[in-house]
Amino acid sequence: MHATLARRALGHLVPPKIATPSSVSGGSAASLTPLVEFYSKLPKGPAPKLGPRGPASYLFNAKNASGVPILVVIFGLIGFGYTLDYNMHLKHHKNHPH
């Protein structure tokens, strides 16, 4: 196995600024104290559940998710379009009766 392939495969396990080759190799446990301190400060246990973020996540991924707001928007646009079309039609008939 090439050194670059091994470095790429194992690079995500140890942060590069803490585990330098000089501190990891050498055999003494005293040189590993920065690495042990880094990993001891990391949070333990499962990650906390995040709430919904953004309107789409709130509608589809929340605890009480519902598609009702989408239906309200659809019917609102239909109602707005109908009202606009009706008023334009009335303006047409104002001066040009059938």
Q: Please enumerate, as own/partner, the contacts of 65-71 that have beta carbons within 8 Å and a separation of 24 or more.
A: none
- pTM of the full predicted structure? 0.41
**DSSP letter for each residue of 33-67:** HHHHHHHHTS--SSPPPP---HHHHHHHTSTT--S
Give 10's pLDDT tier (boundaries 50, 70, 90): low
Domain locations in the chain as residue ranges? 5-89
Residue type, 20: T
Q: How far is Cα of residue 91 from the mean position of the Cα atoms in its chain?
A: 49
Kindly report, residue by residue over 39-83, the tens digit of the pLDDT: 888 888 898 887 767 777 777 777 777 888 889 999 999 999 999
